[in-house]
């Protein structure tokens, strides 16, 4: 169902939770790549010989050696793997998280909503039903803003190519049956988020006309609701809520006009470029500006889809073909995967640097923003979800345990004592914003219940946990 309720009408928003910290709530940037995030390629160079085994077949990625106990090491004095090297200067804010599983999800090309929601849904071509909200949706509800959630993407569903409109990639949901939309066009995303700053100095009259139009539309929809009685009320409710939401949002944006103008990104040719890397860069610029200007506290960037060809990186093959270890002109498929990951990480480092330059309390905005990089296909092109790696950059105002020089955390492998699932990672994020629930999504029925309850104690400071 393509029905996302107007974000401003969510009745259950906890408006007071962060009232005291309204000016510096925690922020989240989820970066979701397709085709899996290769665990072996996250291992620092010094440990590679000990922790990585060669790929099973020629052209396939190397594999991370599983561990039967928790590995918790400092990354200080260690050289990050080549594709992560732009994070060297941000190592104090870096956690490499390995060994979690997510076998309550579907796996394959995409776990769809399951990747951030921890449940089985969808099939090869369709995302299926958002049975529960996903973690970005949950956080969006907990951290209200003018735009509770901003989704930016290159394409729609995982097998599709680059799009230029609003799409539903099927990975985020604000609630049951309420998928979250993503904007695939950087220029339209800019217009929606920062448009008021551009138009602000133009005729006041135009602004008034817009408000008048929205008022008229609210009245018009209500009149039809009266005329047709109970038939399909839900649809008109959504349409009405959409107008009301727009009207209220305009009012709020107006109040923030100066701030928005100050932080709006500079529009360049990249916003209308056909080159995939240009569009991704524009999306990351928008994501950073959205967080810095306070327009939203939760942004998800769907960094690519399987039908994307990274021409801007000199790669001649779709991500899909690379995932199948096909040959690529002038490089191995593993090289191509590394180059794509490096490009994503460069973007993340760019955003992190921008956030680090914004002073906040006694640190910077990066201390209170967590960037979460992972894949909706877990650990490989056809994800098995038996391991699900994450790269975390940033902080949550000291609620996240930090290790000087960065941290490498690898949980015991699937089935071993101490093994944890991605649900616990998401619970950690929820706990960090005060949402102290014990369970998230559905459980993996092959694992013990206890191992799936509560946040990752290794990740959070004990004061945050219940």
Partner 1 sequence: MFYRVFLAILSVCSLSGAAEESGSQQSAFVAQSFLDAHCVSCHDGESPEAGLSLSRASSNFKEPATVQLWQRVLEQIELGAMPPRNEPRPARADRHDLSRYIVEQLARVGQQSTIGFKRRSPAYGNRLDHERLFDGSETGPAYSPARLWRLGPQAYDQIVEKLGPGVRHATAIHQPFMLDETRGTIADFAAQQFADAATLQLLMMNCETIAKYQTTGIKRREQGELHIERRTPAAFQPIIDAADPVSVEQIKLAVQYEFNQLLGRSPTKQEQTEYVDLFRQSAAIAGNVEALQTTLMAMMLQPEAVYRLEIGFGDREPDGRRKLSPYELAFAIAYALTDDGPDKVRIPDVADGAGQDPEHSPSLLELAEAGKLSTSDDVERVVLAFLNANTMAVADYRMFRDDHRIGNKRVLRFFREFFGYHHAPKVFKDEKRIGNDDQFNTERLVNDADQFVMHLFDQDQDVLRRLLTSSEYFVAYLGSLEKIAEDLHYIKTNVNDQGFEFNSAYVRRAEQAGRHPIPIESASVRNYVQFYNLDPLEWDYPTQQPFPLPKRQRAGILMHPAWLIAWSGNFDNDPIRRGQWIREHLLADTIPDVPITVNAVVPEDHHRTLRDRLEVTRADSCWKCHQKMNPLGLAFEGFDDFGRHRDREMLGEMLTIFTDRHQQANFAAVNQTGELIASGDAEIDGPVESALELVERLASSQRVQQSFVRHAFRFWMGRNETFADSPTLIAAEKAYAENGGSMKSLIASLLSSDSFIYRK
Of 383, 440, 442, nearest in space to 135 by CA? 440
Kind and range of the H or E run holding 350: helix 333-356
Distance in angstroms (rounded) separating the CA atoms of residues 368 and 448 = 33
Q: Residue 4 Cβ, how far from partner 1 at the closest point, in Å?
A: 5
Q: Residue 204 Cβ, how far from partner 1 at the closest point, in Å?
A: 9
> Which CB atom, from 151 or from 395, has the smaller least distance to partner 1?
151
Task: Reduce the DSSP state of residue 237 to 3 states and report it.
Answer: helix
> Which CB atom, from 5 or from 256, has the smaller least distance to partner 1?
5
* Maximum pairwise Cα distance, the chain: 73
Of 110, 172, 30, nearest in space to 320 by CA? 110
**DSSP secondary-structure letter at 360?**
E
Q: Residue 209 Cβ, how far from partner 1 at the closest point, in Å?
A: 5
Q: Residue 347 Cβ, how far from partner 1 at the closest point, in Å?
A: 24
Q: Residue 337 Cβ, how far from partner 1 at the closest point, in Å?
A: 17
CB-CB contact of 107 with 378 (8 Å): yes
> Which CB atom, from 25 or from 127, has the smaller least distance to partner 1?
127
> Which CB atom, from 237 or from 360, has the smaller least distance to partner 1?
237
> Which CB atom, from 209 or from 361, has the smaller least distance to partner 1?
209
**DSSP secondary-structure letter at 21?**
T
Tokens of 175: 């609630």
> What number of other Cβ atoms are within 10 A of residue 180's Cβ?
27
Distance in angstroms (rounded) separating the CA atoms of residues 150 and 46 = 38
Name the site residues for partner 1 (rule: CB under 8 A): 1-7, 103-104, 107, 120, 123, 125-126, 129, 159, 164-167, 176-177, 181, 188, 191-192, 203, 205-206, 208-209, 212-213, 216-217, 219-221, 224, 228-229, 231-232, 235-236, 238-239, 241-243, 245-246, 306-307, 318, 320-321, 324, 326-327, 382, 384, 442-443, 445-446
> Which CB atom, from 202 or from 462, has the smaller least distance to partner 1?
202
> Which CB atom, from 2 or from 201, has the smaller least distance to partner 1?
2
Q: Residue 208 Cβ, how far from partner 1 at the closest point, in Å?
A: 5
> Which CB atom, from 2 or from 466, has the smaller least distance to partner 1?
2
Alpha carbon 251 to its chain's center = 28
Question: DSSP H helical segments within 66-203, as ranges?
Answer: 114-117, 135-142, 186-199
Of 345, 341, 369, 339, nearest in space to 357 by CA? 369
Q: Residue 411 Cβ, how far from partner 1 at the closest point, in Å?
A: 20
Q: Residue 231 Cβ, how far from partner 1 at the closest point, in Å?
A: 4
Strand 178-179 to strand 173-175: parallel, antiparallel, or no bridges (unpaired)? antiparallel
Q: Residue 421 Cβ, how far from partner 1 at the closest point, in Å?
A: 14
Distance in angstroms (rounded) separating the CA atoms of residues 391 and 412 = 17
> Which CB atom, from 45 or from 176, has the smaller least distance to partner 1?
176
Order of strands across the sheet that contains 182-183: 71-74, 407-410, 94-98, 390-394, 369-375, 27-33, 298-302, 150-153, 182-183, 166-167
Q: Residue 213 Cβ, how far from partner 1 at the closest point, in Å?
A: 5
> Which CB atom, from 50 or from 231, has the smaller least distance to partner 1?
231
Strand 173-175 to strand 63-64: parallel, antiparallel, or no bridges (unpaired)? unpaired
Task: Reduce the DSSP state of residue 98 to 3 states and report it.
Answer: strand
**DSSP secondary-structure letter at 265?**
P
Distance in angstroms (rounded) separating the CA atoms of residues 165 and 156 = 9
> Which CB atom, from 240 or from 349, has the smaller least distance to partner 1?
240
Q: Residue 232 Cβ, how far from partner 1 at the closest point, in Å?
A: 4
């Amino acid at each position: 169902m393509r029905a996302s309720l107007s974000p401003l009408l969510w009745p259950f928003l906890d408006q007071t939770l962060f009232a005291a910290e309204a000016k510096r709530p925690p922020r989240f940037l989820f970066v979701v790549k397709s085709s899996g995030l290769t665990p072996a390629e996250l291992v620092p160079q010094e440990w590679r010989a000990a922790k990585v085994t060669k790929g099973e077949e020629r052209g396939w990625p190397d594999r991370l050696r599983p561990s039967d106990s928790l590995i918790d090491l400092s990354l200080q004095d260690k050289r990050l793997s080549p594709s992560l090297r732009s994070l060297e200067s941000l190592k104090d804010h870096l956690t490499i998280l390995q060994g979690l599983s997510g076998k309550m999800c579907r796996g394959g090309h995409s776990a769809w909503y399951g990747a951030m929601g921890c449940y089985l849904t969808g099939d090869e071509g369709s995302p299926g039903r958002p049975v529960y909200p996903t973690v970005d949706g949950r956080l969006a509800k907990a951290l209200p803003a003018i735009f509770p959630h901003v989704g930016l993407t290159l394409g729609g569903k995982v097998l599709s190519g680059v799009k230029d409109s609003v799409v539903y990639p099927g990975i985020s949901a604000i609630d049951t049956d309420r998928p979250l939309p993503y904007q695939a066009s950087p220029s339209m995303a800019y217009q929606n988020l920062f448009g008021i700053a551009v138009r602000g100095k133009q005729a006041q009259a135009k602004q008034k006309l817009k408000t008048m139009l929205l008022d008229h539309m609210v009245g018009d929809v209500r009149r039809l609701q009266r005329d047709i009685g109970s038939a399909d009320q839900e649809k008109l409710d959504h349409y009405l809520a959409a107008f009301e939401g727009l009207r209220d949002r305009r009012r709020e944006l107006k109040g923030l006009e100066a701030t928005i103008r100050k932080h709006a990104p500079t529009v360049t040719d990249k916003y209308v470029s056909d080159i995939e890397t240009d569009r991704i860069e524009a999306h990351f610029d928008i994501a950073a500006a959205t967080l810095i200007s306070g327009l939203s506290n939760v942004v998800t960037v769907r960094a690519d889809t399987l039908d994307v060809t990274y021409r801007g990186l000199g790669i001649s093959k779709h991500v899909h073909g690379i995932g199948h270890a096909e040959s690529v002109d002038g490089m191995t498929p593993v090289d191509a995967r590394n180059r794509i990951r490096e490009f994503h990480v460069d973007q993340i480092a760019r955003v992190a640097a921008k956030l680090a330059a914004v002073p906040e309390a006694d640190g910077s905005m990066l201390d209170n923003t967590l960037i979460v990089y992972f894949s909706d296909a877990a650990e490989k092109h056809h994800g098995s979800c038996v391991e699900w790696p994450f790269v975390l950059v940033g902080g949550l105002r000291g609620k996240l345990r930090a290790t000087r020089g960065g941290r490498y955390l690898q949980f015991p492998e699937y089935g071993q004592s101490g093994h944890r699932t991605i649900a616990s990672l998401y619970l950690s994020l929820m706990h960090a914003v005060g949402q102290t629930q014990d369970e998230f999504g559905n459980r993996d029925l092959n694992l013990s219940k206890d191992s799936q309850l509560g946040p990752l104690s290794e990740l959070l400071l004990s004061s945050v946990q219940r």
